[in-house]
Amino acid sequence: MNEWAKGPDGRRRAVRVRGPRGGEVSFLLDGRALLVCGVLVALTLATAAVSLSTGEFRIPLPEVVRTLTGGGTSADHFVIDTLRLPRLLTAVLVGAALGAGGAVFQSLSRNPLGSPDVVGFDTGAATGALLVILVAHGSRAEIAAGAAVGGVGTALAVYLLAMRRGVQGARLVLIGIAIAAMLGSVNSYLLSRADVSDAQTAYLWLIGSLNSSDWPGVTAIGVTLAVLLPAAVRLGRGLNALEMGDDLACALGVRPERVRFAAVVAGVGLTAVATSCAGPIAFIALSAPQIARRLTGVPGPNVLPAALTGALLLSACDWIAQQGFTGTQLPVGVLTSVVGGGYLAWLLAREWRGGRG
């Protein structure tokens, strides 16, 4: 039996769901948040339809559907199955992972500019990838592995260094910034000593691109999301409480240490696999949670709306990067900064004008 209770603002409902074995789960449902999620999903689906059907090789939408369901010509299959679908799915999944990871970190660091880089993640991932590209001359899979190892290793090191009878948010951020700065110099050194073609490969990786999306990458990011996204969504409540400070969170029955550790693991895991698939795509992790928060109007990390915003943002940006400029294709990282940043600036400006910022 499920129970519903209307919240004081008339918008939110507390829902209690009784599980099959007598356990109970209760959560808050927000009408506007639900609507926003629905619209984001619909827009992402629309973007997907447009992405799959447009390009140099035109495939009308009915043909796309026929190809996806097994029909279609062999050329259609090559274009959809080998070129467009893996790229689209990578964009959607990587965008979702970056959005969710960003939401977790912004909440964790209690800073709207927070990103996985507060624990040195991006810089560490870049160091790992650069070492594989420039020193070991590794393959694409090895670069991805190098990025994941570098990012996770750095995040772990920062976490352990910040540990002293528990990890404080501020200490974590400070040590993260220090380690990131050190690794940043290592990265600059590696690039300055590199052969030009290697350096070009490295820069392309550093901008972030979906050009070499493939099915193994889709599987990796898909499995990661399936495991970590629900975990991150569940952590949302604890993170929300943590935003009010450890003492208050404790009083509300949240164990700050455990939540914080689990959040770092989930956030780093999501970002690590996303980064190893597509490179450190700029700005999604920063802008998606902020945009989502403003769209839903709900406090807290908004992990799911942030993931959906990230998915829409990255897939739309990638389509523009591919089709918007005749004769050339931009790396998607160039576009995400412009589109995501522009939209965020507009949102903020609107808030300030409305006196709410």
Partner 1 sequence: MSATLLSRPDAASLRTDAEFRRITAELTRRGFLGGLATSAALVGLAGCGTSTGHGGAPASGGPWSFTDDRGTRVDLPARPKRVAFLTDSVTAALWAAGVRPVAAFDSGQGIVPAVGLNLAADKSVIQIGNKDNELDTEALVSARPDLLIDAIQADGTLQTLSGNPKIKDLAPVVGIDMYQPVEHIVGQADRLTTALGATPADAAAHRAYQAAQAKLRAAVAANPGLRVGFVFDLGPNGIGVMNPATWAVLKTVKALGMKLVPVAGGKDNTYSQAVSWENVTGIPADLMVWAVSDPLPTEPVWKRVPAVAAGQLWKPDIRSWYAYSWANFATLLEGLAEHVASAKPGVGPKGSVA
Minimum CB–partner distance for residue 197 and partner 1 (Å): 3
From 4-12, 253-261, 269-277, 322-330, give the range in contact with partner 1 by CB under 8 A.
322-330
Nearer to partner 1, 1 or 196 (CB): 196
Nearer to partner 1, 11 or 140 (CB): 140
Nearer to partner 1, 14 or 75 (CB): 75
Q: Where are the beta strands (DSSP E) in the chain?
A: 3-6, 12-18, 24-30
Minimum CB–partner distance for residue 29 and partner 1 (Å): 44
120 contacts: CB under 8 Å, gap ≥ 6: 154, 155, 157, 158, 176, 177, 179, 180, 183
- The binder of partner 1 chosen from 197, 353, 354, 355 (CB under 8 A): 197
Indicate the helix (H) or strand (E) that contains 264.
Answer: helix 256-278
- Count interface residues toward partner 1 (CB under 8 A): 21
- The binder of partner 1 chosen from 196, 247, 253, 355 (CB under 8 A): 196
- The binder of partner 1 chosen from 63, 142, 198, 257 (CB under 8 A): 198
CA 289/CA 301 separation, integer angstroms? 7
Pairing of strands 3-6, 24-30: unpaired
Minimum CB–partner distance for residue 313 and partner 1 (Å): 23
* Residue ranges in 54-139 assigned as alpha helix (H): 61-68, 74-77, 85-108, 121-130
User: What phi and psi values does residue 74 have, to the nearest 5 degrees?
Assistant: -70, -30
CA 278/CA 35 separation, integer angstroms? 30
Q: Which of residues 32-91 bind partner 1 (CB under 8 A)?
A: 55-57, 75, 78-79, 82-83
Nearer to partner 1, 77 or 171 (CB): 77
Q: Which of residues 258-297 bind partner 1 (CB under 8 A)?
A: none
Nearer to partner 1, 26 or 200 (CB): 200
Q: With contact defined as beta carbons under 8 Å apart, do 102 and 239 qualify?
A: no
195 touches partner 1 (CB under 8 A): yes
Q: With contact defined as beta carbons under 8 Å apart, do 154 and 179 qualify?
A: yes
Binding-site ranges for partner 1 (CB under 8 A):
55-57, 75, 78-79, 82-83, 191-192, 195-200, 203, 214, 327-329
